Structures are given as C-alpha cells and as structure tokens.
C-alpha cells in the first residue's frame, strides 16, 4: 500500500482518547503475582514500547491486551473494547506479530500471505503488502528457505494484512544481526507514518530509543516509569560525575550542578586537567528503574 492510499476510517469510541486504556490490571499464577495493579495508556497513532527484564510481566500484559489471556482484576479497553469479551470484528482491527511463529514452511511467501488475506474483510492487496515489507523479490521462495530477517518480515506481513489499527510486536528483532535490525526498524517507521498504532515489547534499549514515542519500564509486574526515551533520566538520580586531574591526584565528585562545581574549583585560576563530565544515560536510568545497581 502506498502512503497516498486511503486507509479505513478509524472510529474512536465516545469518551475514549486512548487506543489502549488499562487501570488496576492484576494477574497471578498459582498465587504468584505476574502483574500488579498496573495502569497504562497508549494514544492512537503512537509507537509505544514496553521495556523490562525477563519475568517482569511484559508477555502477560500483552497477552491480556490481545485477548489471549484472562486477567484477575482491572479495567482494560483496547480500541474501546474489553479484549476479554471481544469478538471477531474486534480481532480484525488488531494485528499480532509473535516472537515465535509456527507455519507451513513448504508454502511460498505469496501463498502464505494469500491464505491469510481470506481471513479479513478488508485485507491489503497481496502485491502491496509484499512491497511494503520488502519481500516482493522473495514472493516465490519457500518459507523454510527464508533468512531470519526475511522470516520476520513475513511475520509482519501477516500481522498487517488486515490493515490493523493497532499492531502488537513481541520482541520483534530478537536474534537479528545489526543490519537486519536496522532494516526492520525502517519498516516499523513506515507503518507508524501510515498511522498504525504500534505497541512493542523489547529487551533492546537502542530499539526503544530509536522507534518509540514513549516507553513504559516494567519491573516486578508494575509500571515504574513512562516517558519519552530522551526523558526517562528524569525519573532517576540525575547526579553527574565530574572527574579531573590536579597534580598527581585524580579527583572524582558527584553533583547535580556540575557547571557550578567546575566554576568553584577553577575560580582561583587552577587548571582542571583531563576534565570530564558524565551524565546518566538511558541505560543508567533503565538499570536504576528496574532495581539493578
């Protein structure tokens, strides 16, 4: 589909300003909490990343939002509908790209995509979707013969074939080499520019920083911070580290006002040799937020 092609009208339910609206979501397994009193909002047209370590509850959260797992408590609305009670009409409005997918490897790429077009009332044209995900040249290839990057592009093709308003991506680039990962990021940018709301889970800080408008950091089943990737450091210790050499001695000081510290230390004309100022990075913020030193 080209950028100029008309998309189906997205109907925003009355009073609903979010594609995803969650309040007080909880889920336990055998008495052990996986998600605890979680609140979350994702705006229409937003690329939203859920970031967290293994066991943080990311998969459970997404499966509940997809309508594939029951919750114990809380209010959940996805595209204005409770996914736990949603029917086929609602499912046709979402797309899901799982981390691992089983398929008929003996089929060609074109045959696989064509088979899925029959599942949706307003499916994208076969040639358009293959062009969009960069698989036109591989349309006649058997699925089992595809490279890892091509296979992931096919997963996305199947996820977007029904023109979803909301696309779920679960660890979309796990196992990719750097080149394949960046090619996949370009594809996500195209989908986002077309107005698709995208919710992705990832382990990669760089991926979240590159793609997401906002990031939710999840730890022990709850949201510990939500902000743009560039602003996540506002939620943690902002102390900067100032290092310099004076004579034979190395000085290291931690301060929230490094400029003032440098001004004071050099007010008598002293030379602060090898001066460096290091501020918290996104990685520092992430590690603080999930409770790691």
What one-character-per-residue DSSP string does 48-64 give?
A: EEEE--TTSSHHHHHHH
274 in the same domain as 244: yes
256 in the same domain as 204: no
Residue 239 in contact with residue 63, Cβ under 8 Å?
A: no
197 in the same domain as 118: yes
3-class SS at 221?
Answer: coil
This prediction has a pTM of 0.78
Tens place of pLDDT per residue across the chain (293 aa): 333 333 333 333 433 579 999 999 999 999 999 999 999 999 999 999 999 988 889 999 999 999 999 999 999 999 999 999 999 889 989 999 876 655 667 899 999 999 888 888 888 889 998 988 889 999 999 988 888 778 888 888 888 898 899 999 988 887 777 887 888 888 889 889 988 999 999 888 889 989 999 999 999 999 999 999 888 877 777 788 899 888 788 989 888 888 888 888 887 777 788 888 887 778 888 888 888 53
Residue 276 in contact with residue 244, Cβ under 8 Å?
A: yes
Q: Alpha carbon 118 to chain centroid distance?
A: 29
211 in the same domain as 122: yes
263 in the same domain as 126: no
In a domain, 10, yes or no: no
Give residue 284's domain range. Answer: 236-289
141 in the same domain as 285: no
Q: How many residues does the chain have?
A: 293
Distant-in-sequence, close-in-space partners of 244: CB < 8 Å, separation ≥ 6: 250, 251, 265, 272, 273, 274, 275, 276
């Amino acid at each position: 589909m080209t950028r100029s092609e008309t998309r189906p009208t997205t109907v925003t339910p009355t009073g609903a300003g979010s594609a995803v609206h969650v309040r007080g979501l909880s889920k336990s397994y055998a008495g052990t909490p996986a998600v605890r009193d979680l609140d979350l909002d994702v705006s229409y047209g937003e690329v939203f990343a859920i970031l967290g370590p293994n066991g943080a509850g990311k998969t459970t959260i997404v499966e509940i939002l997809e309508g594939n797992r029951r919750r114990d408590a809380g209010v959940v609305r996805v595209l204005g509908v409770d996914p736990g009670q949603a029917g086929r009409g609602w499912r046709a409005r979402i797309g899901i790209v799982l981390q691992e997918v089983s398929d008929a490897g003996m089929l060609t790429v074109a045959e696989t995509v064509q088979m899925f077009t029959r599942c949706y009332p307003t499916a994208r044209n076969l040639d358009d979707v293959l062009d969009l995900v960069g698989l036109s040249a591989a349309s006649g290839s058997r699925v089992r013969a595809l490279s890892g990057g091509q296979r992931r592009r096919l997963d996305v093709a199947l996820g977007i074939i029904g023109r979803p308003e909301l696309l779920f991506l679960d660890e979309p680039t796990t196992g990719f080499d750097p080149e394949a990962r960046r090619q996949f990021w370009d594809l996500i940018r195209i989908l986002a520019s077309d107005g698709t709301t995208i919710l992705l889970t990832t382990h990669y800080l760089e991926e979240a920083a590159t793609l997401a408008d906002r990031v939710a950091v999840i730890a022990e089943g709850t949201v510990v911070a939500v902000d743009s990737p560039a602003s996540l450091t506002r939620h943690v210790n902002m102390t900067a580290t100032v290092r310099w050499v004076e004579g034979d001695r190395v000085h290291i000081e931690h301060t929230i006002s490094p400029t003032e510290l440098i001004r004071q230390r050099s007010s008598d004309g002293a030379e602060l040799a090898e001066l460096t100022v290091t501020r918290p990075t996104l990685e520092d913020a992430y590690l603080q937020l999930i409770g790691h030193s």
